[in-house]
Amino acid sequence: MPEHCALLTADTIESGGTQPEHLDSIPRLVEKVVAEASIEVGIGEDVHRNEQFSGDGLLRAYPSQYLPALIDLVLRSTRC
C-alpha cells in the first residue's frame, strides 16, 4: 500500500479581532502550542513532512504511522 499522509491543522479562533501589532506573534504561538502538544503524545518536532502557515494557524503533513498519536493529540487538546 502506498504511503499516505495524515494532516493536522491548527487554527486561532476569532483572530480577526486581534490588534494588528499582535498578528505577527500568532504563528509563533500556534507553532509553540502544537510543538508542546506533539511532545506530550510522543511525536518529535522534526517528523512532519510539510508545514504551511495560514496567517493564524498551520497545516502539517505527517507520515501515516503517526495518525494514532495525532488523534490522541486532538482528543487531549479538546478536553476541558
pTM: 0.76
DSSP at 45:
T
What is the pLDDT at residue 7? 92
pLDDT in tens, 10-57: 887 666 666 666 667 777 888 888 888 899 999 998 899 888 887 778
Please state which CATH number belongs to domain 5-77.
3.30.1360
Q: What are the structural domain ranges in the chain?
A: 5-77
Nearest-angstrom CA–CA distance, 64 and 56: 25
What is the pLDDT at residue 69? 93
DSSP at 49:
S
Q: Which three cell numbers stand for residue 18?
A: 486581534
What is the pLDDT at residue 16? 67
What is the pLDDT at residue 79? 64
Summarize the confidence of residues 65-77 as an average pLDDT. Answer: 90
